Structure 1
Amino acid sequence: MDIIFTVLEIVAPVFLLACIGFGWVKYGWAYEIEFVTRIAMTLSVPALIFVALMKSQVAPDALSALFLASLVCYGLLIVVFWLVLWLGGMDLRTNWAPLIFGNTGNLGLPLALFAFGDEGLSYAVIVFAVMAILSFSVGVWMVSGGGGFTKMIKEPIVWGTLLGGLFLVQGWETPDWATNSLELLGQMAIPLMLITLGVSVARLQVGTLGRGAVLVALKTVLCVAVAWGVGRYFALDPVAFAVLVVQISTPVAVTSYLLAQKYGADADQVAGMVIISTLLSVITLPALLVVLI
């Protein structure tokens, strides 16, 4: 019973902040999601990642192992979901990327922080960084049929990750005034992302849910299985293993819906997947944490 209350204490702030965003929109108040997202993705999240890596007390070897494990996970998921969609005769442009790239930022980072503290956050930003780089390169290619690399190298998240990794490996630190400023900027990231998640879900217009529900259930099972197997293969330490499984198993990201809209895929179906997987995560993520903690 104690473990259940512990898990509830972890997930409650995550879903409470998302519910604030959801209720904000339903009440009719304005929320400039494009502005908030740009602030988060351009300034706050890169600062969060950079400082988390620079100040990480986790050994660089452990972070490197998780980095490789994350790459292997996403590589396997790319192949597995291509086979699933090909065998099912389903549209690759619409379904491929959403099934692979989960909400490792808005949902995964807060969960890792609340469940495993600063150590968990250090691990979580590695998985998030791998996802972001692949999503803005391979993911864009999947949805649009081409491009992606130019967009990737322009992303501040990519540079925040590379610089944070460099500072970690070299043992460098920024001056106190710079570190304090970056920490303050990074502290905005998690509440902003969670509230924006709720706002985004509240604004989604869903045309169909049927096929999306089947795909979401399959995504959940396969993502957990792949992350679990890869984590064991790389013999990750318990916190790194738990973070990998949780991050890879997060629900379909809202950015998948935005990309589907931008590049002419079936945005209504992707919206349905976002909503179903996010609702399902209220059950699956706490259940995973019960097993992993």
Structure 2
Amino acid sequence: MNLVLTVLEITAPVFLLAAVGFTWVKLGFEYRVEFVTRLAMTLSVPCLIFVALMRTDIEPSALTTLTLAAITAYGVLTVLCFALVKLAKLDIRTFLAPLIMGNTGNLGLPVALFAFGDQGLGYAVVVFAIMGIYSFTFGIWIVSGGGSPTKAIKEPLVGATLLGALFLWQGWETPTFLTNAIELIGQMAIPMMLITLGVAVARLSPANLGRAVWLSVLRVGLCVAAATVVGLWFALPSVALAVLIVQVSTPVAVTSYLIAEKYGADSQDVAGLVVVSTLLSIVTIPLTLAFLV
């Protein structure tokens, strides 16, 4: 019973905030996703990442190991998902990137924070940054054939990650007044991202839900397996291993739908994956945490 209550305490705030966004749209109220997303990804999330890294008690060497493990895990997952797409005879441009790219921001960061505290958040922002770089390079290249590495480098979250890592490595800290201001801006990120996730799911028009269901179920299995095997191989500490598993197995990112829409892939099929995998995560995230917490 204690385990069930612990898992509910972690996951309930996540899905309740997403439900707020979903209900808000269904009631007909205005919500400008483009503005909120830009505010979050340009200002709030980079501030969150910078402060989380600067203040974390994690050894820089441990973050380096996690970085290598995350890169390897996504490499393994890419191979597994490519094999799945080929065996199922699906369109690579439409399905490969969404199956790889998890919602490490909207869902991964809050789950890591609620489940493992500031230490978990410090680990989670590293995986989130890696996923962001991968999404803006390889992800766009798969969908469009023309992804530009410089686009990822220009993303504020990448700069915030590098700057935060430098401050962590050197043991530096910004002045208290500045840290408090940056932290306050960063605190907007998690509730904004969760509410926006609910809004996005409410507005999507999914297609081929039957296929989306079995693909989402298989995807969770592949993600958990890849992250677990790689994390154990790198001998990650228990919290870092748990965060890696949670982050890699998060549902399909809403940005995958936006990329598909922009570059001419079948966005409705991707929308189906986003909706189904997000709803499935209501079950899979608590089950995963039950084994990890």
TM-score by length of 2: 0.99
Runs of 4 or more, structure 1, over 6 Å off, are: none
Cα RMSD over matched residues? 0.8
1:199-241 Cα shifts (integer Å, max 9, x gaps): 0000001232122222111110000000010111111111111
The one-letter code matched in structure 2 to 1:257 is Y
Once residues 201 and 65 of structure 2 are traced to their aligned partners in structure 1, the CA distance between those partners, rounded to angstroms, is: 34
How many Å apart are 1:280 and its aligned residue? Answer: 0.5
**2:66 counterpart letter in structure 1:** L
Alignment partner of 2:147: what SS? Answer: coil
Match of 2:195 in 1: 195
> Are residue 56 (structure 1) and residue 69 (structure 2) matched?
no
Alignment correspondent of 1:174:
174
Are residue 164 (structure 1) and residue 174 (structure 2) matched?
no
SS at 2:114's partner residue? helix
Within 5 A, what are the aligned runs for 1:1-293? 1-293=1-293
Q: Distance in 1 between matches of 2:251 and 2:149?
A: 25
User: Structure 1 counterpart of 2:180, which letter?
Assistant: N
The amino acid of 2:61's aligned partner reads D
Amino acid corresponding to residue 104 of structure 2 in structure 1: T
Instruction: Output the CA distance in 1 between the equivalents of 2:292 and 2:48.
Output: 25
CA distance in 1, matches of 2:276, 2:205: 13
State the shift of 1:181 in Å: 0.9
Preserved contact between residue 48 and residue 186 of structure 2 (Cα < 8 Å):
yes
Tell me by how many angstroms 1:87 deviates: 2.3
CA distance in 1, matches of 2:206, 2:194: 21
The two structures have a TM-score, normalised by structure 1, of 0.99
Q: One-letter code of the match for 2:117?
A: G
Number of equivalent positions: 293
**Matched AA of 1:209:** L
Report the alpha carbon displacement of residue 274 of structure 1 after superposing the two structures with TM: 0.5
Cα deviation code 1:20-73 (max 9, x no counterpart):
000000000000110000000000000000110011101111111111100000
Shift of 1:166: 0.9
Structure 1 residue 173, shift from structure 2 partner: 1.1
Tell me the distance in 2 between the aligned counterparts of 1:112 and 1:122.
Answer: 9
Return 169-178 or 90-99, whichever deviates more.
169-178
1:178 Cα deviation after fit: 1.3
Q: 2:27 & 2:209 partners in 1: Cα distance?
A: 25
Segment of structure 1 superposing worse, 138-147 or 194-203:
138-147
